[in-house]
Amino acid sequence: MSKILVTGAAGFIGTYVTERLLAQGYDVIALTNSKNLDVQSDRLTVIEADICDEDLAKKVFGATGQCQTVVHLAADIRVPGDGRTIEVNCLGTYYVTELANELGADKLIYLSSVPVIGKPIDVPITEDHPAHPETLYHITKGDCEPGRCAWDEKAYAAYSLSYWKRDATECLSASYA
For the full predicted model, state whether its pTM sits above 0.85. Answer: no
Span 100-121, pLDDT tens digits: 888 888 888 888 777 788 888 8
Mean pLDDT of 122-142: 85
- Per CATH, the number for 3-176 is 3.40.50.720
Residue 63 has pLDDT above 80, yes or no: no
- How many other CB atoms are there within 10 angstroms of residue 161's CB atom? 16
> Coil, strand, or helix at residue 5?
strand
pLDDT interval class at 83 (50, 70, 90) = very high
Chain mean pLDDT for the chain: 80
Can you give the three-state secondary structure of 107-124, one letter per residue? EEEEEEEHHHHCCCCCCC
Q: Which residues contact 62 (CB under 8 A, 6 or more apart)?
A: none
- Quote the pLDDT of residue 100: 87
Residue 151 has pLDDT above 60, yes or no: no
> Coil, strand, or helix at residue 80?
coil
- Quote the pLDDT of residue 147: 58
pLDDT interval class at 170 (50, 70, 90) = very low
Of the candidates 26, 95, 110, 137, the residue annotated as catalytic is 137
137 in catalytic set: yes
Q: Domains of the chain: which residue ranges?
A: 3-176
Rounded to whole angstroms, how far apart are CA atoms 135 and 118? 9
DSSP state of 90: I
Rounded to whole angstroms, how far apart are CA atoms 149 and 141? 12
> Measuring CA to CA, which residue among 94, 104, 116, 128 is closest to residue 163?
116
